[in-house]
């Protein structure tokens, strides 16, 4: 039998059995009408009963016809629904293969759909002035705090010190549910708060710190607002973490957070302690300073005593935690209360007793014509810090048109430093003590004259004392003071400030968008600096034997009384705006040193012009031109020498001066951080017609530096940042390029004037994946080149950094991360470049049911104990070797509640 006949028989056989194998299928059809007119778009659902799942559904066509099919033979429910008509439900029994059902619907029911909400998982959501980020879209599992999360969001740049920038602008504050605890000290929040209760992060553009100025102020400020999950609001929640090394070197880290973010009252309590290199507070100055400069109604924001002696290590492009031998403790209590409507109380209490140790060995080479020598320094110092600080803010809004705000701070900022020094092979001990006190009071009244006009007035009082006591028990200065026997050198500095300022600003925005601001301010500032260097022959010597070098003593007072008028007017027209501005001030200055007095009265003018142009819906161009006149600072005017450490003595100009400068900036921005492609390109140029330069008298055991008023220094910089989401790789690529150059002159005793040109090149390329998988990477390379050119000779130094961070998710509960870094530092002439490798590994296990996470962390796996980098200046080239924390393994537990 042929194959064709066999296939034909099998086909007939199946056809004969099909009535027995298949159920009968019924067709339900008909027409939907209303007032004898066909209805289009009516939804028809077929169910077993009114509340059961849908068996089939369709919509009526333009003629009102519909058709459904079913294999059910029992009682069925046929439902008809349409906007603007009453729903209709029929019970049918399709006993025939073809069932006809025509229906008439009556007007009624819902006439208009009020709102449609579509929920979709998207990482970004854009509003007029707000970009909303979904936290879950950026979480990878190894985030310990908010800062770790922010580092993973394209367009948000977190610096090594914890500062947060979006584009070229640093954020004003980081709020929680619309309220702010720390203002510019937001690092205390972002480096401590757990990410677990977060749901969204809002980027607030054109942000106004003063609510009365919202919609009026011409603001380009940026702020962040953290939004919590629904079950985290109005509830006490927090986290407790503990890490420690079970063997070897004893390192630990402990932290506790307790918070309640209610609608009216908010509480945030923080405690931490560690000795594994983590800096509990990046800079207390960010907490002390309140307010934002260049904001209507603000005055005295950046006023404070100058820092005269600072041994803080300078670690460019290196993780400071690897060389921070510390024992930090921190306690912070913060609350926001709303006892009655329109009245808010904010209180911050802060204590930070800390011990830090630091070790470095440096070689500094001077090779300038006839001046050739080398200095060596092996230095180990321990710093004990005792910072106690409190801040009270009262906000009262008697009505919706006015607000009264008071901010008062009180701080005690003390440090004790003990240094063990081997300088040029001579051993000595250094002791530095700072006992600072600060009080700062600011009162602001805001009144909204109309919907588009407001008046803001402020008065601020500051009193600060920052005395310094310094001593060293070896004598390196025979060539400076003579060869008489000296056992100890001491210096005492009184560094005091008193400030009183008041200002009033009128701001108005016209209906066409034009903006006008007029401000009047008056300030009085008194700064006192008394310094005295003492040479002590022996501990038991007579008081008459103590030597006080006359050229190393200061008793100066600087008084400044200034009245200023500030005005600006913004003209807006569709896609462009232009803002001319003018600042006019009358300054009365007085400088007294011992019996000598100098007075100066002068008029200062600082005009400027800025503009913005929206070239297309994603491209924006900003430009700024300015001419500026400002006062020389206190440290520029100190008449006689004071020491800043074992090697350097410095003095100022000893006369009042006004510094003139002009410049311009051009910024192009394409897109924003929520776009696939986001870019910032900036060009800036500045001419300092008057600037503070130096004349250095170089010696093997000391340098004498005198500040001078010099002419015509030029600065130029180019910077580009490009972010691009590459679909093929499913990740974000970022390119950073920068170039900066400076032309100026310095003086060296014996060599005269020296023309200097510096160039700096920065390149950075990185890639961060966003793969929907169990594996992600973050990798990149940074390269920086510095060069100094003087008298035809050029010195160049190049440093590079590469990193590769890997994240693994083995299961929902088990994750791991491996962070790898390599640093390649330039070296002194005739030395090889040094490359250093670091690797850290962490393994996390989450018990999500119990909100507990366990981890095992290995730091500095290669056990690199030191690293050496090089630094260039216009007078020297140096290499510095730093001691690093050793390899260790710690185990930890974090519990969220």
Q: Tell me how far the alpha carbon of residue 398 is from its chain's centroid.
A: 34
Record the tokens describing residue 765, joined without a space.
Answer: 């390329």
Q: How confident is the model at residue 122 (pLDDT cuts 50, 70, 90)?
A: low
Measured CA to CA, the distance from residue 106 to residue 81 in angstroms comes to 11
Q: Is the pLDDT of residue 284 over 80?
A: no
Task: Considering only residues 179 and 590, tell me which one the structure prediction assigns the higher pLDDT.
Answer: 590
- Predicted local confidence at residue 315, as pLDDT: 73
Q: Categorise residue 182: left if φ over 0, alpha if ψ from -120 to 50, beta otherwise.
A: alpha
Q: Which residues make Cβ contacts (< 8 Å) with residue 214, sequence separation at least 6? A: 208
- Predicted local confidence at residue 674, as pLDDT: 73
Q: Is the pLDDT of residue 560 over 70?
A: yes
Average pLDDT over residues 630-636: 91
Record the tokens describing residue 307, joined without a space.
Answer: 């820092």
Measured CA to CA, the distance from residue 860 to residue 837 in angstroms comes to 9
Measured CA to CA, the distance from residue 94 to residue 46 in angstroms comes to 12
Measured CA to CA, the distance from residue 706 to residue 426 in angstroms comes to 26
Average pLDDT over residues 199-225: 83
- Predicted local confidence at residue 239, as pLDDT: 87
Q: How close are the terminal C-alpha atoms of the chain, in Å?
A: 80
**Torsion angles phi and psi, residue 7, rounded to 5:** -65, -35
Cα angle value 802/808/813 (rounded, 5°) = 145
Average pLDDT over residues 356-373: 87
- Predicted local confidence at residue 2, as pLDDT: 47
Q: Is the pLDDT of residue 294 over 80?
A: no
Listed residue (353, 331, 357, 334) closest to 345, CA to CA: 334
What's the chain's length in residues?
Answer: 897
Average pLDDT over residues 655-682: 90
Q: How confident is the model at residue 127 (pLDDT cuts 50, 70, 90)?
A: low
Q: Is the pLDDT of residue 509 over 80?
A: yes
Measured CA to CA, the distance from residue 445 to residue 405 in angstroms comes to 6
- Predicted local confidence at residue 116, as pLDDT: 39
Q: Is the pLDDT of residue 167 over 60?
A: yes
Q: Is the pLDDT of residue 281 over 90?
A: no
- 738-788 pLDDT, tens digit per residue, is 999 999 999 999 888 889 999 999 999 999 998 888 899 999 999 999 888
Q: Tell me how far the alpha carbon of residue 389 is from its chain's centroid.
A: 22
- 3-49 pLDDT, tens digit per residue, is 454 454 344 434 333 433 344 567 888 899 888 788 887 888 888 88
Record the tokens describing residue 548, joined without a space.
Answer: 């006080």
- Predicted local confidence at residue 283, as pLDDT: 63
Measured CA to CA, the distance from residue 319 to residue 325 in angstroms comes to 13
Residue 682, classed as helix, strand or coil, is strand
Q: How confident is the model at residue 722 (pLDDT cuts 50, 70, 90)?
A: very high
Q: Is the pLDDT of residue 892 over 90?
A: yes
Q: Is the pLDDT of residue 51 over 50?
A: yes
Q: Is the pLDDT of residue 118 over 50?
A: no
- Predicted local confidence at residue 113, as pLDDT: 40
Q: Is the pLDDT of residue 120 over 90?
A: no
* Average pLDDT, rounded, for the chain: 86
- Predicted local confidence at residue 522, as pLDDT: 96
Q: How confident is the model at residue 125 (pLDDT cuts 50, 70, 90)?
A: low
- Predicted local confidence at residue 437, as pLDDT: 92
Average pLDDT over residues 322-339: 90
Q: Is the pLDDT of residue 326 over 80?
A: yes
Measured CA to CA, the distance from residue 309 to residue 130 in angstroms comes to 43
Q: Is the pLDDT of residue 111 over 60?
A: no
- Predicted local confidence at residue 107, as pLDDT: 81
- Predicted local confidence at residue 126, as pLDDT: 56
Q: Which residues make Cβ contacts (< 8 Å) with residue 159, sequence separation at least 6? A: 165
- Predicted local confidence at residue 643, as pLDDT: 93
- Predicted local confidence at residue 850, as pLDDT: 85
Strand partners of residue 464: 438, 497
Q: How confident is the model at residue 310 (pLDDT cuts 50, 70, 90)?
A: confident
% of residues, the chain, pLDDT over 90: 40
- 817-872 pLDDT, tens digit per residue, is 999 999 988 765 566 778 899 999 999 998 888 889 999 999 999 999 988 888 88
- Predicted local confidence at residue 152, as pLDDT: 80
Average pLDDT over residues 354-380: 88
Q: Is the pLDDT of residue 878 over 70?
A: yes
Listed residue (96, 253, 436) closest to 892, CA to CA: 253
Least confident of 487-491, 679-683, 825-829, 863-867: 825-829
Average pLDDT over residues 318-347: 89
Q: With beta carbons less than 8 A apart as the criterion, state whether 331 and 300 touch.
A: no
Q: Is the pLDDT of residue 464 over 50?
A: yes
Q: Which residues make Cβ contacts (< 8 Å) with residue 825, sequence separation at least 6? A: 799, 833, 834, 836, 867, 868, 869, 870
Name the most confidently modeled range: 309-313, 430-434, 571-575.
Answer: 430-434
- Predicted local confidence at residue 540, as pLDDT: 67
Least confident of 579-583, 643-647, 670-674, 688-692: 670-674
Measured CA to CA, the distance from residue 432 to residue 643 in angstroms comes to 12
Residue with tokens 């440096």: 362
Measured CA to CA, the distance from residue 124 to residue 113 in angstroms comes to 27
- 776-821 pLDDT, tens digit per residue, is 999 999 999 988 888 778 888 888 999 999 999 898 889 999 999 9
- Predicted local confidence at residue 128, as pLDDT: 61
For 749-885, strand residue ranges (E) read 752-769, 775-790, 793-809, 814-825, 834-847, 852-859, 866-872, 877-883
Q: How confident is the model at residue 54 (pLDDT cuts 50, 70, 90)?
A: confident
Task: Considering only residues 407 and 131, tell me which one the structure prediction assigns the higher pLDDT.
Answer: 407
């Amino acid at each position: 039998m042929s194959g064709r006949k066999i296939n034909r028989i099998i086909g007939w056989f199946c056809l004969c059995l099909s009535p027995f194998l298949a159920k009968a299928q019924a067709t339900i059809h008909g027409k939907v009408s209303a007032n004898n007119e066909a209805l289009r778009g009516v939804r028809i659902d077929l169910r077993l009963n009114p509340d059961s799942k849908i068996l089939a559904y369709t919509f009526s066509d333009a003629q009102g016809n519909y058709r459904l099919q079913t294999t059910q033979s029992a009682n069925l429910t046929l439902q008809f629904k349409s906007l603007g008509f009453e729903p209709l439900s029929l019970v049918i029994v399709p006993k025939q293969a073809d069932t006809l059902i025509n229906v008439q619907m009556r007007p009624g029911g819902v006439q208009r759909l009020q709102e449609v909400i579509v929920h979709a998982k998207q990482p970004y959501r854009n509003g007029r002035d707000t970009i909303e980020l979904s936290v879950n879209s950026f979480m990878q599992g190894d985030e310990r705090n908010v800062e770790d999360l922010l580092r993973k969001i394209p367009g948000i740049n977190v610096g090594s010190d914890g500062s947060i920038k979006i584009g070229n602008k640093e954020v004003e504050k980081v709020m929680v549910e619309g309220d702010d605890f720390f203002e510019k000290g937001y690092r205390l929040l972002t480096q401590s708060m757990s990410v677990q209760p977060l749901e969204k992060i809002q980027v607030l553009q054109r942000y106004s710190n003063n609510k009365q100025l919202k919609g009026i102020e011409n603001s380009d400020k940026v702020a962040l607002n953290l939004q919590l999950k629904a079950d985290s609001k109005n509830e006490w929640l927090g986290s407790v973490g503990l890490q420690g090394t079970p063997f070897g070197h004893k390192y630990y880290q402990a932290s506790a957070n307790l918070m309640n973010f209610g609608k009216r009252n908010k509480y945030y309590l923080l405690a931490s302690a560690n000795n594994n290199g983590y800096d509990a507070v990046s800079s207390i100055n960010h907490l002390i300073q309140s307010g934002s400069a260049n904001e209507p109604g603000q005055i005295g924001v950046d006023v404070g005593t100058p820092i005269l002696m600072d041994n803080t290590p300078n670690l460019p492009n290196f993780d400071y935690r690897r060389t921070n031998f510390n024992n930090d403790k921190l306690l912070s209590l913060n609350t926001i209360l709303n006892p009655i409507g329109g009245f808010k109380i904010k209180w911050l209490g802060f204590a930070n007793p800390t011990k830090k140790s630091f070790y470095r060995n440096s070689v500094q080479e001077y090779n300038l014509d006839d001046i050739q020598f080398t200095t060596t320094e092996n230095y180990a110092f321990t710093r004990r810090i005792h910072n106690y600080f409190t801040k009270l803010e009262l906000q009262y809004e008697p009505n919706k048109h006015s607000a009264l705000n008071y901010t008062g701070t009180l701080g005690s900022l003390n440090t004790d430093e003990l240094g063990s020094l081997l300088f040029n092979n001579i051993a000595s001990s250094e002791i530095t003590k700072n006992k600072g006190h600060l009080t700062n009071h600011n009162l602001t009244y805001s009144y909204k004259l109309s919907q588009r006009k407001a008046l803001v007035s402020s008065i601020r009082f500051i009193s600060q004392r920052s005395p310094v006591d310094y001593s060293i028990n070896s004598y390196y200065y025979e060539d400076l003071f003579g060869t008489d026997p000296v056992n100890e050198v001491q210096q005492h500095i009184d560094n005091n400030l008193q400030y009183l300022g008041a200002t009033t600003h009128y701001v108005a925005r016209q209906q066409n968008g034009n903006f006008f601001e007029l401000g009047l301010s008056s300030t009085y500032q008194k700064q006192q600096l008394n310094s005295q260097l003492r040479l002590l022959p022996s501990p038991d010597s007579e008081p008459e034997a103590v030597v006080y070098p006359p050229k190393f003593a200061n008793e100066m007072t600087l008084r400044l009384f200034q009245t200023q008028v500030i005005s600006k007017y913004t003209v807006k027209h569709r896609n462009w705006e232009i803002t001319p501005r003018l600042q006019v001030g009358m300054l009365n200055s007085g400088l007294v040193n011992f019996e000598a007095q100098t007075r100066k009265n002068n008029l200062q003018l600082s005009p400027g012009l800025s503009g913005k142009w929206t070239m297309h819906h994603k491209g924006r161009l900003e430009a700024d031109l300015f001419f500026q006149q400002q006062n020389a600072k206190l440290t520029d005017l100190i008449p006689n020498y004071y020491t800043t450490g074992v090697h350097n003595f410095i003095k100022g100009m000893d006369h009042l001066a006004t510094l003139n400068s002009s410049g311009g900036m051009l910024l192009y921005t394409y897109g924003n951080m929520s776009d696939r492609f986001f870019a910032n390109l900036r060009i800036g140029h500045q001419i300092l017609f008057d600037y503070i330069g130096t004349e250095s008298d170089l010696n093997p055991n000391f340098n004498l530096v005198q500040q001078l008023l010099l002419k015509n220094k030029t600065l130029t910089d180019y910077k580009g940042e490009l972010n691009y989401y590459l679909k093929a790789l499913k990740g974000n690529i970022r390119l950073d390029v920068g170039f900066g150059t400076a032309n100026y002159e310095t003086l060296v005793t014996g060599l005269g004037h020296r023309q200097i040109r510096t160039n700096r090149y920065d390149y950075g390329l990185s890639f961060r994946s966003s793969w929907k998988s169990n594996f992600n990477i973050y990798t990149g390379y940074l390269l920086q080149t510095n060069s100094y050119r003087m008298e035809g000779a050029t010195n160049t130094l190049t440093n590079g950094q590469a990193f590769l961070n890997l994240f693994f998710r083995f299961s929902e509960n088990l994750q791991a991360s491996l962070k790898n870094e390599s640093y390649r530092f330039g070296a002194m002439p005739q030395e090889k470049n040094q490359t250093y490798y670091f690797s850290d590994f962490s393994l996390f296990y989450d018990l999500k049911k119990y909100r507990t996470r366990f981890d095992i962390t290995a730091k500095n796996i290669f056990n690199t104990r030191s690293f050496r980098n090089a630094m260039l200046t216009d007078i020297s080239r140096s290499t510095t070797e730093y001691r690093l924390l050793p390899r260790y393994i710690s185990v930890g537990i974090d519990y969220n509640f």
